[in-house]
């Protein structure tokens, strides 16, 4: 996923796959087909490990209701940080991988896709 991802608005791979290993799904069905789950490595993720703002994974998530949401922040009384941190909404994530492909962390991405979501 780091070098490419499954484009949410495209289903061409299923249409051209000669072995039919990728099913020929209508676009709406393909957009709901889970191929993995995103897992955040909080030791590498900028907001989690460095308490610096980063919104790339949420911003890039193509799911209309966002499978990655930023939470926290505000810096209210008792708060350890005012930095909003990403959290994966597992019930919405389909594992397309754009978050992993676009993660600005050098080397291995701070958010990765795993078939079972366990990392």
pLDDT tens across 27-48, in order?
999 999 999 999 999 999 999 9
Taking CA atoms, 31 is separated from 5, 11, 68, 72, 89, in Å, by 13, 9, 16, 29, 16
Q: What is the pLDDT of residues 51-91, one digit of tens each?
A: 999 999 999 999 999 999 999 875 555 555 689 999 999 99
Q: What is the pLDDT of residues 17-27, one digit of tens each?
A: 999 999 999 99
In angstroms, the CA 36 to CA 23 distance is 16
Q: Are strands 84-88 and 111-114 parallel, antiparallel or unpaired?
A: unpaired
As given in the structure block, the two tokens for residue 58 are: 């949420």
Which domains are present in the chain? 12-114 (3.30.70.20)
Length of the chain: 119
In angstroms, the CA 113 to CA 111 distance is 7
Instruction: Give percent of the chain above pLDDT 70.
Output: 92
Distance spanning both ends of the chain, measured CA to CA: 14
Which DSSP state fits 58? H
């Amino acid at each position: 996923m780091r070098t490419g991802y499954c484009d949410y608005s495209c289903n061409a791979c299923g249409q051209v796959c000669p072995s039919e290993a990728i099913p020929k799904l209508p676009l709406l069905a393909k957009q709901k087909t889970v191929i993995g789950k995103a897992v955040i490595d909080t030791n590498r993720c900028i907001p989690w490990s460095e308490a610096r703002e980063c919104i790339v994974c949420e911003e890039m998530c193509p799911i209309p209701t966002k499978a990655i949401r930023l939470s926290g922040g505000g810096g209210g009384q008792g708060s350890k940080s005012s930095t909003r941190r990403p959290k994966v909404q597992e019930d919405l994530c389909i594992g397309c991988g754009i978050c992993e492909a676009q993660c600005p962390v050098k080397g291995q991405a701070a958010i990765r896709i795993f078939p079972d979501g366990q990392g």
